[in-house]
Structure 1
């Protein structure tokens, strides 16, 4: 088969169907009608002599031949996209581009105030849309360009994505300034264990490692409250005598507004490395490069690295 025999638009439809597994969703994302996507799939089936996708109750399942084509087609389309946009420029002072960031609730608290202030000064027309990192489609969303950048401790994205370490942080005990343990400069294992605790689950992030480490140390805590996110933690600690084990930079942000104090722990707990991560096809995009540079300059301990 010669390349002249292949309509590039058919491969674009094929690539999107592989990502969405639904004709309707592929049509919506490509801004085409469903009949147009179905017609493109019919033409590609005839051209390649394979069904490519089989309808199932859960969506379109690719055939073995389609799965064999998936990686080469994706790489070819990404390379072509990069080549066509290599001369594109980005002027932050006049751009009205919207970037989509995947963040944890801790990330929203820590990154967004500083980042939005910088954008107001450097790129007043640039807009941000934030989505949660816990969505099961995050990898696909970043691969398709629906999400530009992810920030946080995200082990599920370490393979196959570019990443830049921004900073390392330890875990500390956060509590009301009136808490009896606030009188200590650091907390021993015994003092920590005697306290009443609030535990944050934070699914979809790597922060659960601290819970594993505490379990391995054999510490039996009195957990009086378990919450799925960090976002309400400041309010909870401000009105109770509970203690929370949190990333240090979250503690830095939450302490003053809620009258809290953070205390180091004399425990062997893992540090967390916070990164920015992005997909290969965004690597050379000028606007994306500018955004990554801003994040590194604002938050990285060693921005030049």
Structure 2
């Protein structure tokens, strides 16, 4: 097939239809009529001699050929976008840019202190805003450039997005010093486990203890709660809260326990004197990745902030 025989605008329609799966949404995005999109699809079918998209009750579903074409078409459009929108080199030392990053509140606890310290040294004019990935349509916000990056366990961000692994999260059980679980764990504490880290408690001890649960649907932590439910873990939930911000204070003043990431537990042990043990439930680790939209893969500012985050937090 000769390129001169193909209208490259058709590939733009293909790319948007593959992601949106609805003719009406593509027409709205591109500022054209629905018949114009349908006409473009008809021409694409003729070019590739394939239906490409089949109309169903769930939208326009791609054929195997369309699935095979999706990645190279996206890469080609991204390359063209970079050519026609090339910017001057990004200078972090003088930049006044504002970056918006989607993360959870527990992500803020882990990432922001170190990130802001690094920015103070290397890029004093750059500002950061955070947004909850559950409070917005994250996919659309990142495609439009409203949100620059996302950090976390976000399995829905696949097509159109690049990702890079930062680290894996292990989950532990946390409680105040002197808690009955602390006394139970002390009996098996390893000599090399440190003052705030005991070895473990039993599943029976965990199920019997009163718990505080952080309700965090759509996050890696929410998936941990779903995993324990599927494993038929009997949790004695006394308190539900929508965020982690007050969790350490709550545990410090009560006999409640909580399931948290080991990184959060380490920080809580340091600042609140809390203790934590290996979780009695065999919870799978959660991988934390850095995500960005393909449209901004070669954008110099995005490249710089991504590189900084990876240098600071990758393990």
- TM-score between the two structures when normalised by the length of structure 1: 0.72
- Counterpart-to-counterpart distance in 1, 2:169 and 2:275: 13
Would the aligned equivalents of 2:214 and 2:244 in 1 still touch at CA under 8 Å?
Answer: yes
Once the 2 structures are TM-superposed, how far is the Cα of residue 75 of structure 1 from its aligned partner? 7.4
Once the 2 structures are TM-superposed, how far is the Cα of residue 230 of structure 1 from its aligned partner? 1.4
Flag the 1:265–1:218 CA change in 2: closer, same or farther, 3 A. farther
What's the secondary structure of 1:117's corresponding residue? helix
Find out whether 1:238 has 2:252 as its counterpart. yes
- TM-score between the two structures when normalised by the length of structure 2: 0.70
Would the aligned equivalents of 2:252 and 2:274 in 1 still touch at CA under 8 Å?
Answer: no
Match of 1:198 in 2: 212
Match of 1:247 in 2: 261
Number of paired residues?
282
Find out whether 1:265 has 2:275 as its counterpart. no
Would the aligned equivalents of 1:155 and 1:206 in 2 still touch at CA under 8 Å?
Answer: no
What's the secondary structure of 1:157's corresponding residue? coil
- Counterpart-to-counterpart distance in 1, 2:277 and 2:156: 28
Once the 2 structures are TM-superposed, how far is the Cα of residue 136 of structure 1 from its aligned partner? 4.3
Flag the 1:74–1:270 CA change in 2: closer, same or farther, 3 A. closer
Summarize the alignment of residues 141-180 of structure 1 with structure 2, pairs less than 5 Å apart.
Answer: 141-180=141-180
Would the aligned equivalents of 1:172 and 1:262 in 2 still touch at CA under 8 Å?
Answer: no
Flag the 1:262–1:75 CA change in 2: closer, same or farther, 3 A. same
Would the aligned equivalents of 2:174 and 2:277 in 1 still touch at CA under 8 Å?
Answer: no
Flag the 1:288–1:144 CA change in 2: closer, same or farther, 3 A. same
Match of 1:210 in 2: 224
Flag the 1:74–1:214 CA change in 2: closer, same or farther, 3 A. closer
RMSD of the alignment, in Å?
Answer: 4.2
Match of 1:126 in 2: 126
* Counterpart selection for 2:243 from 224, 229, 247: 229
Would the aligned equivalents of 1:155 and 1:205 in 2 still touch at CA under 8 Å?
Answer: no
The runs of 5 or more residues in structure 2 that have no matched partner are 1-11, 23-65, 187-196
Q: Which runs of 4+ in 1 moved over 6 A?
A: 71-77
Deviations 1:229-267 (A, max 9, x none): 11221221122111000011111222333x243423353
Match of 2:41 in 1: none
Match of 1:100 in 2: 100
- Counterpart-to-counterpart distance in 1, 2:94 and 2:244: 35
Stretch of structure 1 that moved more, 82-91 or 239-248: 82-91
Flag the 1:103–1:288 CA change in 2: closer, same or farther, 3 A. same
Summarize the alignment of residues 285-300 of structure 1 with structure 2, pairs less than 5 Å apart.
Answer: 285-300=299-314
Once the 2 structures are TM-superposed, how far is the Cα of residue 73 of structure 1 from its aligned partner? 10
Stretch of structure 1 that moved more, 78-87 or 203-212: 78-87
Match of 1:112 in 2: 112
- Counterpart-to-counterpart distance in 1, 2:224 and 2:296: 32
What's the secondary structure of 1:154's corresponding residue? coil
- Counterpart-to-counterpart distance in 2, 1:95 and 1:81: 23
Once the 2 structures are TM-superposed, how far is the Cα of residue 145 of structure 1 from its aligned partner? 1.1
The runs of 5 or more residues in structure 1 that have no matched partner are 1-11, 22-67
Flag the 1:266–1:229 CA change in 2: closer, same or farther, 3 A. closer
Match of 1:81 in 2: 81
